[in-house]
Structure 1
Amino acid sequence: MTWDLSCRDWAARLKAGRTLVPELPLNAIEGDRAVAVLNRLRLADVTGTPTFGEAGGEWFRDIVRAMFGSVDPVTKARMIRELFLLVPKKNSKTTNGALLMLTALLLNQRPRAPFLLTAPFQKTADEAFSAIAGAIALDPVLEAKLHVRDHLKTIVHRETQANLQIMTFDPKAVTGKKVVGALIDELHVLGKIPRADKAMLQLRGGMQPFPEAFLAIITTQSDDAPAGVFKDDLEKARGVRDGTRQSAMLPVLYEYPEAMQRDPTKPWRDPINWPMVTPNLGLSIDIERLKPAFADEEAKGDAALRLWASQHLNIEIGLALHSDRWAGADFWEAAVDPTLTLDTLLKRCEVVVVGIDGGGLDDLLGLCVMGRERDTRKWLIWCHAWAHEIVLERRKDIASRLLDFQKDRDLTVVKRPGDDVEMVADIVCRIKAAGLLPEKQAIGVDTAGITDIVDELTAPGRDISMEQIIGVSQGWRLNGAIKTTERKLAGGELIHGGRALMAWCVGNAKSEPKGNADLITKSASGKAKVDPLMAVFDCTTLMATNPASAEKKYQIFVV
């Protein structure tokens, strides 16, 4: 039997300052025993070296009580196999995690049981080891029980020979490890590391032989849009919390409800709401110390404030805003219609144009379908991208993010060059069959690399004429389309589906002044991918000519 670990009233609990651990059928004896051990541990980096019982947060005691109180006293099987704790910086995240693992080592009964604490940065791993070694050095009983091997950053229990290893995360080192208990600190960083997902899969697999095994994940929000293994586990934890998924993962997420995060008035900026996501308030952190840092970052601009808020208030960043960003990025998130898909766009629009932008094998092929909505005459866009599988090898720094877009069905990975062009042509032919494609200047294509696309679109059976295809000049000649797109976004006249792929591309776009023009080019954006956004500008070039669909022209002629 699995436990229901959901906490459907989490938002109300946050506002009331209540625990986010739901009511569970815990083994009270084992849970209280674990808390008693935790409470005796001393905080080596706090003035006066108080015990956790004197200076620790009740919110974390609730987590420890649940984790250790979920072990069946007969079978020794753990009902809560994982913990996902999302908590902002300065809430004793690393220290608390370190002491949790020390508690596990002390309570463990399995001979030679291996435990692991790992973090993506050496500094974080060193801080965790220092917290553990410091607690041991301050307690003569613990010094007698445990052997601290400083040079190996390993703690050995003298009686059981169980050991706790503290190390910097390395996919090669983690892969193949069998552990009875593991803690991952700052999982959000691992989301950007190649092969981290495979290492996590191996780590979870290495726990299967042990019924009492557990994996604890303690992390802040990402300073970029969530990606890779972090995105997967964050979505899983939210699903369990909200009751839409079943899992043995205990979700404890100190984050504002989505409505508060997306509210245009940004209520999360008001310090009165900060206690909601600051569980260690009054202990390791207080609001008055946060205010000056908030004011400093606010003065630097929206990009700096978002970065600070992601780490100190767990605000999820959906769009990167850098100092040299494209001006339209500031209005992108306000222009979302989540119901907008290719199907709904074709149903709602009276005319549709297509933009195509792509490069070599290590680039994306970007497609934008832009329609003019009936009655409102707003411009609606739907975008997709294709990538050759070689990109995942050549661009390992973005491979996990591209795979996320593939899961979202916004990106297709192809094995054979040309498959992507065929799929693009299929979509164009579908639009033409719907009678929405103009008879002239309907498809805008980047003049570089246009040959394969033109050949496929004009192939027998496609029935796309050369008059419908136009090469759109890039560089400074695209300035008018860029400015028009910005104005349409700012005025609420351009709507998109709010897809993560496009938020990423818009966040990647860098503006480069050249004469009287502000350019967005692939060279200006460096290695970051912007191809689907460039396809949007190609569409804008065509839609700005106020085209009519072939079907509409025919109907007017008949009348």
Structure 2
Amino acid sequence: MLDALPEEPANWSTAVPDWEERIVQGRSLIPDLPLFDEVAAKALRIFKRLRVPDIIGTPTYGEACDEWVFSFVRAIFGSYDPVTKRRMIREFFMMVPKKNGKSSIAAAVIVTAAIMNERPEAELLLIAPTKTIAAIAFKQAKGIIRLDPDLTRTFHLQDHLKKITHRISLAEIVIKAADTDAITGGKSTFTLIDETHEFATKSKADAVFIEVRGALAARPDGFLLQITTQSKAPPAGVFKKELDRARAVRDGELVLPLLAVLYELPAKMQKSGGWKDAATWGLVNPNLNRSVDKAFLADQLTTALRDGPAELALLASQHFNVQIGLGLKSNSWVGANYWEGAALAGLDLKSLIERCEVAVVGIDGGGLDDLMGLAVIGRDRETKDWLHWAKAWAHPEVFKRKEIAPTLQDFAAAGDLITVGDDEPTRDIVEVADIVEQLLESGLLPEEGAVGLDPMGVSALVDEMASRGVEHKMMVAVGQGYRLTPAINGMERKLKNGTFRHCGSPMMAWVLGNAKTEQRGNAVLITKETAGKAKIDPLMATFDAFMMMSRNPVAAGAQAFEYTGI
């Protein structure tokens, strides 16, 4: 008699490659999983019985929530094997717009976890970027417990310690704020990270996630739950890493024990403005007409359309999970509105040199706590379009600005930004000169007016370029402030009419989002002072290069051509 074949291992893949079709059709974003039904059912019964403390009448979660919540709760707890005491899915990442009850739902999940927990003295950690945000889920958890006499007897609430203790298992629910508390030790069994997108500005956020995941390695019964909205600026830092990772798992590009539930429209619908159609609102707002009021969204859209692109971008990111490519602000530069649409796939310095008949350079530096920005603009020999490529360098002093350090580190990883070490203090000057020398050798630089520089603090760079054969008549001090108005206005027009194309650098998109305009008489100013702590040096270098190209230059060895204007 043949031995019985071994059972096929359960398929715990969390990939949802058809998520675009699912979300457009209003179907569940959670794949079919071989859940442990008894555990899932028990957890869901507990979750549904809990009462929502901040809704009039304090209904139960079973009464207040919809099926999308119940499916998520089943997946979280039903992935736990009660025999092996291991969790088949260890991480959960939910991105849902504001007002869909995410913090309330997350708090109820943590209370449910504290009830279901089998580990003595387990730690249930509520982590947020700030103490204020961390207190939201904690307050919700307290309210849930106080509304249930049985839970009030089971748990000991210690407001002054921001702690909730299970009297029997001694498991503790505690809160931690990344801006004030040290999150070390790797002891948490269950962790909720609220508003992950806010961690983008935290320079030490990576360490928080390393500690939390380190705890899971020793606690296979635990889980990490992240719940967030989309960010108000282009995703950066640890939020970008976590979001990219979640999308890769969802799309089937990465296999990890992580379930990503992302309420976002397909990229095409986001870019085309499909989110403005009220018919799509319920697709990304699963609590529409429950905690999310449709009339409120309609009023907010009407107001944002009137107030301009900055308010529209904010509304789109927070209420419809639209990922914005530029951090548009009030008094932002008009040209930023057309920047994304001007990207040209595959454009780099090499292809720019190959395609262009002439090229010029703009350079903007400053002190050690500024970026060194370089921009190259070439004129395409066939289309006569202006092609743009940029790069930047940063000394360690720049990274001391904690609010922008994670973003700069992303750009360094992408290769758009070069980090200058303390042991190589002239690296930026040498490498900028290397690029100018390469353009000189290509024959694309004009004999005069080839390199436009902000005249402040460039003596060392001028000497370095001169040593490479760049003649002084090729270097021009470009007036700043109001004198850049022709470049600011001219670039707006060329971006809008499609004759200015760029390489699609995320760094440049961020830089443009930092740019603020100031009107002085007939002049439009974009200055480092108005940008504040953010950086715009590569954009200023671009304006310098634009001023050089506006002179209609001819390459040293090239034939002149008839050019009729912008």
TM-score band by shorter chain is over 0.9
Asked if 1:544 is matched to 2:550, the reply is yes
Comparing 165-174 with 127-136, which one deviates more in the overlay?
Answer: 165-174
User: Could you say which residue in structure 2 is the equivalent of 1:448?
Assistant: 456
> Is contact 1:364–1:385 with CA below 8 Å preserved after alignment?
yes
User: Could you say which residue in structure 1 is the equivalent of 2:470?
Assistant: 464
User: Could you say which residue in structure 2 is the equivalent of 1:235?
Assistant: 244
The AA in structure 2 aligned to 1:437 is L
Instruction: State the 1:159 CA deviation.
Output: 1.4
Residues 489-536 of structure 1: CA deviation (Å, up to 9, x unaligned): 121110112222111111111212223211212223223211100111
Where does 1:84-95 land on structure 2 (aligned, <5 Å)?
84-95=93-104
> Is contact 2:130–2:179 with CA below 8 Å preserved after alignment?
no
Comparing 100-109 with 202-211, which one deviates more in the overlay?
Answer: 202-211
Instruction: State the 1:42 CA deviation.
Output: 1.1
Mapped to 1, the partners of 2:312 and 2:28 lie a distance apart of 28
**Aligned to 2:74, which of 52, 65, 73?**
65
**Aligned to 1:484, which of 482, 485, 490?**
490
Where does 1:338-377 land on structure 2 (aligned, <5 Å)?
338-377=345-384
The AA in structure 2 aligned to 1:524 is T
> Is contact 1:381–1:496 with CA below 8 Å preserved after alignment?
yes
Mapped to 2, the partners of 1:88 and 1:554 lie a distance apart of 56
**Aligned to 2:334, which of 307, 327, 330?**
327
> Is contact 1:105–1:157 with CA below 8 Å preserved after alignment?
yes
User: Could you say which residue in structure 1 is the equivalent of 2:6?
Assistant: none
Find the residue that maps to 1:405 and give its secondary structure: helix
Asked if 1:293 is matched to 2:300, the reply is yes
The AA in structure 2 aligned to 1:210 is R
Seq. identity, % = 47
> Is contact 2:281–2:288 with CA below 8 Å preserved after alignment?
no
User: Could you say which residue in structure 2 is the equivalent of 1:273?
Assistant: 280
Where does 1:65-464 land on structure 2 (aligned, <5 Å)?
65-170=74-179, 172-263=181-272, 266-393=273-400, 395-415=401-421, 416-459=424-467, 462-464=468-470
Mapped to 1, the partners of 2:37 and 2:355 lie a distance apart of 59
Instruction: State the 1:171 CA deviation.
Output: 6.2
The AA in structure 2 aligned to 1:425 is A
Mapped to 2, the partners of 1:551 and 1:260 lie a distance apart of 48
Mapped to 1, the partners of 2:64 and 2:232 lie a distance apart of 29
> Is contact 2:388–2:501 with CA below 8 Å preserved after alignment?
yes
Mapped to 2, the partners of 1:76 and 1:432 lie a distance apart of 67
The AA in structure 2 aligned to 1:34 is A
TM-score by length of 1: 0.94
Instruction: State the 1:47 CA deviation.
Output: 2.3
TM-score by length of 2: 0.93
Mapped to 2, the partners of 1:246 and 1:348 lie a distance apart of 41
Comparing 486-495 with 70-79, which one deviates more in the overlay?
Answer: 70-79
Mapped to 2, the partners of 1:331 and 1:130 lie a distance apart of 44
User: Could you say which residue in structure 1 is the equivalent of 2:514?
Assistant: 508
Mapped to 1, the partners of 2:392 and 2:311 lie a distance apart of 30
Residues 16-45 of structure 1: CA deviation (Å, up to 9, x unaligned): 211111112222222222112111111122
Comparing 480-489 with 535-544, which one deviates more in the overlay?
Answer: 480-489
> Is contact 1:84–1:251 with CA below 8 Å preserved after alignment?
yes
> Is contact 1:254–1:314 with CA below 8 Å preserved after alignment?
yes
Q: How many pairs does the alignment contain?
A: 550
User: Could you say which residue in structure 2 is the equivalent of 1:521?
Assistant: 527
Mapped to 2, the partners of 1:420 and 1:381 lie a distance apart of 20
Find the residue that maps to 2:73 and give its secondary structure: helix
> Is contact 1:94–1:124 with CA below 8 Å preserved after alignment?
no
Residues 461-484 of structure 1: CA deviation (Å, up to 9, x unaligned): x23222322221212222222222
> Is contact 1:5–1:248 with CA below 8 Å preserved after alignment?
yes
The AA in structure 2 aligned to 1:332 is W
> Is contact 2:232–2:327 with CA below 8 Å preserved after alignment?
no
User: Could you say which residue in structure 2 is the equivalent of 1:23?
Assistant: 32
User: Could you say which residue in structure 1 is the equivalent of 2:564?
Assistant: none
Find the residue that maps to 2:124 and give its secondary structure: strand
**Aligned to 1:41, which of 42, 50, 64?**
50
Instruction: State the 1:553 CA deviation.
Output: 4.4
Mapped to 2, the partners of 1:176 and 1:369 lie a distance apart of 48
Q: Mark the runs of 5 or more structure 2 residues left unpaired by the alignment.
A: 1-8, 562-566
Instruction: State the 1:554 CA deviation.
Output: 11
Asked if 1:32 is matched to 2:41, the reply is yes
User: Could you say which residue in structure 1 is the equivalent of 2:5?
Assistant: none
> Is contact 2:176–2:183 with CA below 8 Å preserved after alignment?
no
Mapped to 2, the partners of 1:478 and 1:284 lie a distance apart of 49
User: Could you say which residue in structure 2 is the equivalent of 1:535?
Assistant: 541
Mapped to 2, the partners of 1:112 and 1:57 lie a distance apart of 33
Find the residue that maps to 1:239 and give its secondary structure: helix
> Is contact 1:171–1:199 with CA below 8 Å preserved after alignment?
no
Comparing 521-530 with 81-90, which one deviates more in the overlay?
Answer: 521-530
> Is contact 2:131–2:180 with CA below 8 Å preserved after alignment?
no
Give the alignment's Cα RMSD to 1 decimal: 1.9
User: Could you say which residue in structure 2 is the equivalent of 1:494?
Assistant: 500
The AA in structure 1 aligned to 2:144 is A
Find the residue that maps to 1:85 and give its secondary structure: strand
